[in-house]
Structure 1
Amino acid sequence: YVIDGIEKGWALGWQKKGFAGKKNPDLWKRLLELVKKHKVRWVWVKGHAGHPENEACDVMAVEAAMGKNLLTDHEYERENRA
């Protein structure tokens, strides 16, 4: 989804519409700023398929999610108030 969002130009279209109805607009804005500054080669990797770097990222993500004193995603909290 992220790769398509950038490579197919979806994110630029969302940006023009103010990211209306899109989740995580703050992250998309930051990503669009970064891809303007850097040459990025996007590579899709199947998850949980034994790819060493993907497996390492999965371990780090699980450890972070299970950790204490996690930072609050204030943008997410603001957007998803009931």
Structure 2
Amino acid sequence: MRELERARWRCRRGLLELDVILQRFVDEHYARLDEAELRQFETLLNLSDSDLWDMIVQKEADDESSQSVLRLLRTVRQ
């Protein structure tokens, strides 16, 4: 439970659109992520708001290692 609380806190961003998407993602998908996907999510959260937003709105990301989590984030965005 502590990791979930930490993830929720880290999802609070300066960009409102990211706040909404990341909070929905945590509510809908976080509990089902495997270890690799949790690491991917942590890596994405380390990005700046603008870089993370750009990755979410792109059709394909340059970073293949985060594809599964980005696909989930994109479904939340729609």
Higher relative contact order (CA 8 A, sep 6+): 2
* Structure with more helix by fraction: 2
Give TM-score, length-normalised by structure 1: 0.27
Structure showing greater Rg: 1
What TM-score, normalized by structure 2, do the two folds share? 0.28
